[in-house]
Amino acid sequence: MKLTFLGTGGGRFTTITQKRMTGGFRIDGFAGKNFHIDPGPGALVRSFEFGIDPSNLNILFISHAHTDHYNDGEILIEAMTKGMTEKKGLVIGSRSVFEKYRRWGPCISNYHKTRSDLLTLFKDQTIEFDEFIIKGTKTSHGDPTGVGFQLKSNDLTISYTSDTGYSPDLHNYHKGADILISSVLRPGKKSIKCHMSTDNFKDLINEVKPKLGIITHFGLKMIKANPGKEAKRIEKQADVPILAASDGMSINISDKNPSNFEIEYLKRF
């Protein structure tokens, strides 16, 4: 199984300035499926820059209706469906991704809903497929319909918090995760409403106790503080390896032992 980060930036100012790319990340080879998670601005272009074929997607996941998470969703649907000529793939998203909810959404046009299966995911909802199970996880964020996920196969469980503030019950939604991937906007204790800081993530890691923790989706203050240093700092206070994702980082992970991984930094074409 492979994780590839096509963007590790988050928040409006990192997105506007592109101090980090904002294309989201791929999960390839999980239960035989290829996923693209939160395809923000540049997801399509970054895929090609790093030598990744967007047409081999099986599942697109969009956690909520903020531009840095959904912007390239429609063009990736076109790639997945061979230019809208084939019925192919699955699009999973929050309620606001598919329909207007108060002042959020929709993010996908009616036209782009016609060639893929659609699944609106809610927190605490569990859907069983032949190869894997997906569970919606709670977020506390600006878009009230936003949702994270936990993917579970026979060999591996991956959790993704998406954008959320920390809360004492957050770990309950991600318990059992082998790999925990979190949006961590700010360094140290400098959390802001509806987002986590690295100290929040440290608390979450110690509560969930995964085999590997990964932070991504960095705001400008986090980038200035150096995400790699922040990851090393909190790793000393956690009993698991913590990685700070970087643009073009590809992580080969053993399904049987997620703490056994190899990192490759992809070259841009």
- Amino acid at site 34: N
DSSP three-state, residue 76:
helix
The string over 173-198, giving b where at least 16 C-beta atoms fall within 10 Å of a residue's C-beta and e elsewhere, is: bbeebbbbbbbbbbbeebbeeebbbb
How many structural domains does the chain have?
1
Please give the span between the terminal C-alpha atoms of the chain, in angstroms, as a whole number: 23
**Per-residue pLDDT reduced to its tens digit, 152-194:** 999 999 999 999 999 999 999 999 999 999 999 999 998 899 9
Residue bearing tokens 């531009």: 67
CA distance 143 to 163: 10
Check which CATH number belongs to the domain holding 34 and give it. 3.60.15.10
Predicted pLDDT of residue 191: 86
pLDDT in tens, 199-255: 999 999 999 999 999 999 999 999 999 999 999 999 999 989 999 999 999 999 988
Q: Which residues of 199-237 are buried (b: 16+ CB within 10 A; e: fewer)?
A: bbbbbbbeebebbbbbbbbbbbbbbebebeebbebbbee
- Tokens describing residue 86: 């084939």
The answer to whether the predicted template modeling score (pTM) of the entire model surpasses 0.95 is yes
Helix (H) or strand (E) holding 234: helix 227-235
Mean pLDDT of 90-107: 98
Q: For 133-145, what is each residue's pLDDT tens digit?
A: 999 999 999 999 9
Tokens of 42: 């540049």
Q: What is the pLDDT of residue 49?
A: 98
Q: Which domain holds residue 111?
A: 2-265
Residue 94 binned pLDDT confidence (cut-offs 50, 70, 90): very high
